[in-house]
Chain A
Amino acid sequence: MAASVAKEYKTVSSVSGPLLVVEKVSGATYGEIVEIIHQGETRRGKVLEVNRDRALVQVFEGTSGIDLPKTRVRFMGKGIELPVSEDILGRIFDGFGTPIDGKPAIIPDKSLDINGSPINPYSRDYPLDFIQTGISSIDGLNTLIRGQKLPIFSGAGLPHPQIAAQIAKYAKVRDGSQFAIVFAAMGITFEEANFFIQSFKDSGAIEHSVMFINLADDPAIERIATPRMALTAAEYLAFEKEMHVLVIMSDMTNYCEALREIAAARKEVPGRRGYPGYMYTDLATIYERAGRIHGKKGSITQLPILTMPDDDITHPIPDLTGYITEGQILLSRPLHRSGVYPPIDVLPSLSRLKDRGIGKGKTREDHSDVLNQLYAAYASGKEARDLAAILGETALSPLDLNFLKFAAAFEKKFVSQGAEEDRTIEQTLDIGWELLSMLPEEELKRVKPENIAKYHPAHMQNKK
């Protein structure tokens, strides 16, 4: 970094939205952090562009009340950093890394640049270890793997906070090791944040959690830093302290809106729906900070939550997220309305990494067969349901009727479960078999005969 001593300027020449232009600056560097001091109040900002002696600064806390002559700008000569040590566990910070739980600031081991560096693809290890969340429709059909980034696509008013809290509470891996949880709240309401904090406290998860809270009435621009703070903490815990870290980020939609706000203030050419063209790359620098690294014991698993505006999955935020993450868990409003909890729509949900994380030695040998068969049967059942809606149930063939019943039972017994119900993968698969036994055996085309012989309830009774 160029400057080691912070330099102060009183040369702000213009203010527009969250942006300031500072003139006659010497030695400013791209991306460095600045402090804006105005009538004893200090705000933070970041250099977005340097042109000779003129710097464009983005102010995180907003520019309200700032006037040109009285404002002083101090260039700090370094990027935004997060002080870390193992003591961050159990602590609650604001969106910019300042403690808000009333306890003193931590004594840092070191300070880390929150932007991190990309992981060399050569240094990665492929995620292979099954994480049991206790939720059947995730474990059974859209299995979460350690090192994966699997977002929850939700909608306004759907119970994604409950699902995320449930996962945070029950998530475990087979080798018994526990997760440290890093929680980043971006622009969520006080009540929602409080729900998380309370549920972490109730389950004791708070002891091994780090929380970064940026609420809906906190400065929107601060949201740009919040997930990066969280991931920097996660990387420290995972790759330096050998912990398995589960990062929950809610709500990515608010993050993207903050991104749009800055892009608009900078008068950039807008892309789809006004979001900046680089949103894919920007989101990738967040989501790609998940994974495993060769030779390191820890891992980072991401569970970002985003609410789809108008439940539209083709909206740029879920769309670009889906292109980066390794699948998605999609929540469905119709299921929620019909009283199914968790309302996970399994057909369009997907875990891309499941194939190598399940099966013999990981979960159970019949997992992949049961998964494929449940999918196919539920898809047939949904088709039969559509058909019945047009023609009436009487017009269905006996087989289609069978599938129709299957689909209803599947939603009731497999997808539905209690918010406190922690199912093992064996329980999940056994429920799957129980449901599959509703269908004629010759329809179980995706299950290997040896697995039918071993796990099909009808055969198990014969054996007894």
Chain B
Amino acid sequence: MGSIIKISGPVVIAEGMSDAKMYDVVKVGNPKLTGEIIGFEGDKATIQVYEETAGIGPGEPVESTNMQLSVELGPGIMGQIYDGIQRPLEVLNAMSGCFMARGIDAPSIDKKKKWDFVPLAKKGDSVSQGQIIGTVKETELIEHRIMVPPGISGKLLLISEGKHTVEETIAVIETSSGKKEISMLQRWPVRKGRPYKERLAPNAPLVTGQRIIDTFFPIAKGGVAAIPGGFGTGKTITQHQLAKWADAQVVVYVGCGERGNEMTEVLEEFPHLKDPRSGRPLMERTVLIANTSNMPFAAREASIYTGITIAEYYRDMGYSVALMGDSTSRWAEALREISARLEEMPGEEGYPAYLPSRIAAFYERAGRVISLSGIEGSLSAIGAVSPPGGDLSEPVSQGTLKVVKAFWALDTALAYRRHFPAINWLTSYSLYLDAVSGYWKKFGEDWRELRAKAMALLQKESELQEIVRLVGVESLSINDRILLETARSLREDFLYQNAYHEVDTYASERKQYGMLKIILDLHEARMKMAFEGQPAKDILMMKVTADIAKMRLVPEKEMESKFLAIEKEIRERKSSPGGM
């Protein structure tokens, strides 16, 4: 037991701490605030405290728990909302009311609830670390696969079917160093990635139902993406859309230093929203970590690690997991703040010199892997970045750009024009096209060509617009005017997507492909009409454009017939053109 000698905000220095180890969790002062040791000098430990330190004074005790900052892993995580250090907010609310009290400790996982354990292994089997030895039905959507904890291998002496709490022994394993009792509960230090057997390259898209992402700038399952953008550009809405509609089996959403009302929105909305594939409430596959901007920022620093460790745990069960971090800039700011309190030498803009390596190490925990149990799982990570003044030259954006392979640049100008999602199609990119092309061939052999063509049209449009600005649209050739029309259609009818419209909020792969194909088919048809010398008015004013403008609102069920009708109309116009 040590005692406090200095307090400066969330950084506390205590002496007499020679028994404690680096990164041990400690209980600080009389109210027993949770903290973590982040440095030693002799027997003086520097402690980062995750709660407000007002009212603490020198001489108060500091006690080490002899444990690193860890998360509890086991049935009961799914559907929970935690703070940055995995305290369940619902339980805290019951214990201390609507304002966050200090020094309260609540179990991360319900220790009393009994789960029906169904063994997959039997007595006498030899099992190894990470192997799945049984399952529990955690929610309607998620079968929680119970794995042998890392570091334990041997012969199964006992395995106990039936109702158990997470702490009861469900199996006994004879290892080389003696018998080991196993429960459904594991602990894992958050700052250390969970082990796997083999890392694989991504090969399939994480389908999000967002047209500009899936068709233009896809992210692969196991991939990493960043969404940078100034305020008001729609980072959070984009993250929410991904959390709602991405075809991941498990979603971990980390609200890191953002608004309280946004977390409330997720909490109120997700239980009512249905997963488009299973028809079940989204909350059954979602874990929320909420450390809002007014909660202590040291816990904000921990929150993304808490999130990704939980995500890795479900990945190890063989699920495809998506982690959304909103926003990584707030995490970096917490890092900067702690660094300043430690009086470290600052790097760029006051951020510590190790910021880029911390960012890179975080994103590197994503990936597609063969887990220790031999099944495949993936963890995709999508981080929002909030650059000051929207300027991407700042250290957090730059550190992120170096490691992510899909980049969705949100654009203030687009947001002002109410073009949502305000992802700029000229500056965004994705390096996962090769990885996902095979998948998209199922929906159309020419997917990649169509996409390339659409991108080229949009690129050409931006060049032409310069000319139009100077000399007016009338002076352009008919081919260029057709191009401008098609590009406008791509922007307004395809890329524009209304997150609040019940149909438009999600577009299936088939629908996305169909819409893109129709827009480009019309382009071809018009080019042909122009070649045949038909009047500009007939070419540009085609009735079918009204139907094309409404394509995004066509429900998936009616899609086939409606799209066929549009295709037919385009073909007929070709032979019998006419104005409006």
Interface, chain A (partner B; CB < 8 A): 1-2, 27-32, 48-53, 79, 115-127, 147-148, 239, 268-272, 277-278, 280-281, 284-285, 287-289, 291, 293-296, 314-316, 319-320, 322-324, 326-328, 347-348, 350, 352-353, 355, 372, 375-376, 379, 387, 390-391, 395, 397, 445
Contact = CB atoms under 8 A, between A and B. Distances in A.
B7, B257, B340, B500 interface centre (most CB from chain A within 10 Å) = B7
A390 B100 CA distance: 57
A119 B101 CA distance: 10
Interface string B413-430: 000111000000000000
Q: Which 9 pairs, one residue from A and one from B, show the smallest C-beta to C-beta distance?
A: A31-B54, A314-B389, A284-B293, A123-B98, A288-B294, A29-B57, A322-B231, A122-B89, A117-B99
Contact of A121 (B264, B337, B340, B349): B264
Contacts of B333: 277-278, 280-281
Given A120-B93, A326-B261, A284 B294 contact: yes
A277 B89 contact: no
Nearest to A372: B418
A271 B396 CA distance: 14
B349 A379 contact: no
Contacts of A284: 257, 292-294
Nearest to B546: A442
Contacts of B294: 118-119, 281, 284-285, 287-289
A29 B56 CA distance: 5
Nearest to B294: A288
Contact of A379 (B81, B93, B232, B416): B416
Interface in B227-273: 230-232, 255, 257, 259-261, 263-265, 267-268
B473 interface: yes
Interface string B59-103: 110000000000000000000010000000110110001111110
A87 to B, nearest CB: 24
A122 B55 contact: no
A379 to B, nearest CB: 5
Contacts of B386: 323
Contact of B100 (A118, A287, A289): A118
Nearest to A124: B264
Contacts of B6: 49-52
Contact of B549 (A148, A287, A348, A445): A445
Nearest to B88: A122
Contact of A116 (B56, B99, B334): B99
Contacts of B60: 2
Contacts of B417: 347, 376, 379
B502 to A, nearest CB: 13
10 contacts: A27-B57, A28-B57, A29-B55, A120-B100, A148-B261, A284-B293, A314-B389, A320-B388, A348-B232, A395-B472
B259 A324 contact: yes
Contacts, number: 193
B336 interface: yes
B350 interface: yes
A287 B333 CA distance: 18
Given A48-B8, A119-B294, A124-B261, 17 more contacts: A31-B55, A49-B8, A120-B98, A124-B264, A126-B264, A126-B268, A269-B346, A278-B297, A280-B330, A281-B337, A295-B98, A296-B98, A315-B389, A322-B230, A347-B417, A372-B418, A397-B473
Contacts of A280: 257, 293, 330, 333
A31 B260 CA distance: 25
A347 B417 CA distance: 7
A51 B55 contact: no
A119 B98 CA distance: 6
A269 B340 CA distance: 7
A312 B9 CA distance: 32
A135 B206 CA distance: 45
A322 B472 CA distance: 37
Interface residues of B, number: 67
B509 to A, nearest CB: 26
Given A30-B57, A50-B6, A120 B337 contact: no
Nearest to B231: A322
Contact of B260 (A121, A375, A390): A121
B98 A293 contact: yes
Interface string B285-306: 0000010111101000000000
Contacts of B264: 121, 124-126
B58 interface: yes
A32 B55 contact: yes
Contacts of B452: none
Contact of B54 (A79, A287, A355, A379): A79
A225 to B, nearest CB: 14
Nearest to B5: A52
A31 B12 CA distance: 13
Given A121-B264, A122-B267, A281-B297, A115 B259 contact: no
B232 A123 contact: no
B572 interface: no
B390 interface: yes
Nearest to B330: A280
Given A29-B56, A121-B264, A122-B267, A391 B472 contact: yes
B260 A124 contact: yes
B153 interface: no
Contact of A123 (B58, B93, B388, B391): B93
A372 B420 CA distance: 12
Nearest to A50: B7
B265 to A, nearest CB: 6
Interface string B29-44: 0000000000000000
A237 to B, nearest CB: 16
B260 A288 contact: yes
A287 B261 CA distance: 11
A116 B388 CA distance: 28
A11 B89 CA distance: 45
A1 to B, nearest CB: 5
Contacts of B263: 121, 124
Nearest to A376: B418
A319 B389 contact: yes
B350 A121 contact: no
B340 A379 contact: no
B469 interface: yes
B53 interface: yes
B433 to A, nearest CB: 32
A121 B292 contact: yes
Interface string B191-231: 00000000000000000000000000000000000000011
Contacts of B473: 397
Contacts of A125: 264
Nearest to A280: B333
Contact of B55 (A49, A79, A119, A288): A79
Contacts of A53: 58
Contact of A122 (B93, B336, B470): B93
A435 B336 CA distance: 51
Contacts of A293: 98
A287 B257 CA distance: 13
Contacts of B59: 27
Given A277-B340, A314-B391, A319-B231, A51 B290 contact: no
B340 A353 contact: no
Contacts of B416: 347-348, 379
A2 B57 CA distance: 7
Contact of A350 (B56, B232, B470): B232
A319 B388 contact: yes
Contact of A272 (B89, B293, B349): B349
Contacts of A281: 257, 293-294, 297, 333-334, 337
A30 B51 CA distance: 13
A180 B192 CA distance: 51
A277 B98 contact: no
Contacts of A320: 388
Contacts of A272: 349, 388
B261 A271 contact: no
